[in-house]
Chain A
């Protein structure tokens, strides 16, 4: 399957999956269980609405989702309390697999969710989305329910403009277009077909997630795509247009940190895969600048990109799922 064929066959729009009764029937017919994970860190303003909408629309109205879990990194605001009040199962990431210790980063929450949640399909949705809609979940889950060969579904957001006729460019955010797409185009041209590879919303089969490592920081989405592509091929990946996502915009300096973390993960993968030669020991400190009067000052940020091993290698996980017979 080349990238053009893939784009035609594995790119969806959530509108195709409007028949939720049929989707739920198909899910039940296949005996699948769906878990929704919302990783959080100080999201009290948006988490209530997300839990409300998903619980009311996709558990009560249409029983597509079997559990909604908030995996929190230790919020100092009311995130956990608000989520619980709206009916989510709330966990502190540090309380899950305590023997594995606690690390800081979104990837850590996603990895630990895999242990805590029970679904055959895990859906990750960022908790800072202001315009949350049920299709953020069913648009990602549906390709996995209808197409057994698909294992990993990524969101992208593309609102058709009423005035736009003909061809126009589309794509991802700044980090995607300046860093990820050029890197993918150079080293993994097939993955350049993903319109928004860094999107924080995706649905994945457990059998896939448990077999891949999880960088705990910014690199988790990039590494997932590379690992799934290498192990299961392009045909296992799909993407769904979810229309529009409204969220807080990040300052350029924060995007610099993100790009730094992603680049570490990417280079580490490329080295291990033998795509590039042996690299020297790379630093983990990003330097940015600030000025006071006429004095320029360097700010140093340590951004180590540690990885959690594939969950299937964790004894407690193997025991929980009875994988050792």
Chain B
């Protein structure tokens, strides 16, 4: 029975897509207006205020900016007996000093942070308009959350705070990412993220034979980390995200920083690798007489919904019907906060993008129609109970 009714939603997809196409300009407009407001983690308050105002202008109720800087508002459902959380992180990894001007062309939009995650929050701001034009009225309430302090040292602080203090029972969560359309995340990898900082003491004797700078010391740390054996089962990985240090060409560097992330399908493996990295840092530090600090500030546990969970199945079926190739891959982002509290959730992307994480990051406009159709259909499916555990 549920399958037959879900088919009704799938049958509506072509019509929903036509209506979504007529609303894409509203999404682009929100993308520009939101994306040109700098929002580095812990400095996203202006962007959040703008989003909160947008929520109010859209007629959402119970709008507020909470003490962690999340913008929250509710679109009441006709029955209001269930609650779906729609979340996108409002912060970016881009400093305010960077020019945030966005370039708009008919087929693409370019600028720092447009994909991650200005488009995601623009979706929240534009969704009421889409739903109105698609003539979709849900029984369930939709809780809109533009979360703060998500990235890097923010460590999902805004989303966690909301989930800890929210009184409304949530039947499902959808995390909206700007890119990539077709990617679904239903599971969170175990993850630890941190910085290794090497500092050479001021009184260091540079005339000594073995005198080396901070960059060479960090290089030694990297070499030893690379030698850590990583298992294929559970799949595990160490990523070096960025490195910086020194101040010129011929001056011996006094300071160097390595940012890294350990990922694994197993919590214990992440902890084990971290212990090994800690040992390496202490060992190299003792040999080089440099100070090496290891700071781990982000931690996620592995988990998620099974591949066969109805939420996952319905989401994949919607993509298949829209003829969008689907790729299910684990995530280390906001999904973890839902999993941690036992709330079925997934992450979706809205469009395709390129040059991600660089100032000329770009998102493509034509796939946005399918991305928004996907989101509307997913909301209908959750609202209809077709994504519940035993549906």
In the complex, A133 has a CB within 8 A of chain B:
yes
Are B25 and A61 neighbours in the complex by a CB distance under 8 Å?
no
Q: Give residues of chain A (80-108) contacting chain B, Cβ–Cβ below 8 Å.
A: 82, 85-87
Contacts of A82 in B (CB 8 A): 105-106
Contacts of B152 in A (CB 8 A): none
Q: Give residues of chain A (126-174) contacting chain B, Cβ–Cβ below 8 Å.
A: 130-131, 133
Instruction: State A57–B104 Cα separation when bound (angstroms).
Output: 16
In the complex, B357 has a CB within 8 A of chain A:
no
Sample 10 A-B pairs with CB under 8 A, ordered by A number: A48-B105, A48-B106, A52-B25, A53-B32, A56-B26, A56-B28, A56-B29, A82-B106, A133-B33, A246-B101
Give B269-282 as 1s and 0s: 1 = Cβ < 8 Å from A's Cβ atoms.
00000000000000
Contacts of A60 in B (CB 8 A): 25-26
Q: B222 to chain A: closest CB distance in Å?
A: 41
Contacts of A86 in B (CB 8 A): 25, 106
Contacts of B102 in A (CB 8 A): 49
Instruction: State A87–B104 Cα separation when bound (angstroms).
Output: 14
Contacts of A52 in B (CB 8 A): 25, 28-29, 32, 104
Are B36 and A131 neighbours in the complex by a CB distance under 8 Å?
yes
In the complex, A55 has a CB within 8 A of chain B:
yes
Give A41-75 as 1s and 0s: 1 = Cβ < 8 Å from B's Cβ atoms.
00001001100110111001100000000000000
Contacts of B29 in A (CB 8 A): 52-53, 56-57
In the complex, B103 has a CB within 8 A of chain A:
yes
Q: A96 to chain B: closest CB distance in Å?
A: 25
Contacts of B28 in A (CB 8 A): 52, 56
- Could you say which interface size class chain A belongs to? 10 to 19
A residues lining the B interface (CB < 8 Å): 45, 48-49, 52-53, 55-57, 60-61, 82, 85-87, 130-131, 133, 246
Total interface residues on B, CB under 8 Å, equals 15
Are A56 and B104 neighbours in the complex by a CB distance under 8 Å?
no
Contacts of A130 in B (CB 8 A): 101
Are B36 and A56 neighbours in the complex by a CB distance under 8 Å?
no
Contacts of B57 in A (CB 8 A): 61
Are A49 and B26 neighbours in the complex by a CB distance under 8 Å?
no
Instruction: State A130–B25 Cα separation when bound (angstroms).
Output: 18
Counting chain B CB atoms within 10 Å of each CB, which of A48, A52, A57, A130 scores highest?
A52
Contacts of A56 in B (CB 8 A): 25-26, 28-29
Contacts of A57 in B (CB 8 A): 29, 33
Q: Give residues of chain B (92-119) contacting chain A, Cβ–Cβ below 8 Å.
A: 101-106
B residues lining the A interface (CB < 8 Å): 25-26, 28-29, 32-33, 36, 57, 101-106, 129
Contacts of A55 in B (CB 8 A): 25
Q: A181 to chain B: closest CB distance in Å?
A: 30
Contacts of B104 in A (CB 8 A): 48-49, 52
Contacts of B106 in A (CB 8 A): 48, 82, 85-86
Contacts of A53 in B (CB 8 A): 29, 32-33
Known: A45-B103, A56-B28, A131-B36. 10 other contacts (CB 8 A): A48-B104, A49-B32, A49-B102, A52-B28, A52-B29, A52-B32, A53-B33, A85-B106, A86-B25, A246-B101
Nearest 9 pairs between A and B by C-beta? Answer: A56-B29, A49-B104, A85-B106, A48-B104, A56-B25, A130-B101, A56-B26, A53-B29, A52-B28
Instruction: State A52–B129 Cα separation when bound (angstroms).
Output: 16
Q: B216 to chain A: closest CB distance in Å?
A: 41
Partner of B25, one of A87, A131, A133, A246: A87
Q: A53 to chain B: closest CB distance in Å?
A: 6
Instruction: State A49–B105 Cα separation when bound (angstroms).
Output: 8
Instruction: State A61–B36 Cα separation when bound (angstroms).
Output: 19
Contacts of A133 in B (CB 8 A): 33
Instruction: State A251–B144 Cα separation when bound (angstroms).
Output: 47
Partner of A131, one of B26, B101, B105, B129: B101
Are B103 and A49 neighbours in the complex by a CB distance under 8 Å?
yes
Instruction: State A17–B62 Cα separation when bound (angstroms).
Output: 24
Q: A120 to chain B: closest CB distance in Å?
A: 26
Instruction: State A57–B33 Cα separation when bound (angstroms).
Output: 10
Closest to A85 in B: B106
Instruction: State A55–B105 Cα separation when bound (angstroms).
Output: 15
Contacts of B129 in A (CB 8 A): 61
Closest to B102 in A: A49
Counting chain A CB atoms within 10 Å of each CB, which of B25, B36, B101, B103 scores highest?
B25
Instruction: State A47–B106 Cα separation when bound (angstroms).
Output: 11
Q: Contacts A85-B106, A246-B101 given: A61-B26 contact, CB under 8 Å?
A: yes
Instruction: State A53–B34 Cα separation when bound (angstroms).
Output: 12
Contacts of A45 in B (CB 8 A): 103
Instruction: State A173–B57 Cα separation when bound (angstroms).
Output: 36
Instruction: State A149–B26 Cα separation when bound (angstroms).
Output: 35
Instruction: State A15–B344 Cα separation when bound (angstroms).
Output: 42
Counting chain B CB atoms within 10 Å of each CB, which of A45, A53, A246 scores highest?
A53
Instruction: State A60–B28 Cα separation when bound (angstroms).
Output: 13
Closest to B53 in A: A18
Contacts of A87 in B (CB 8 A): 25
Instruction: State A55–B103 Cα separation when bound (angstroms).
Output: 17
Q: B97 to chain A: closest CB distance in Å?
A: 15
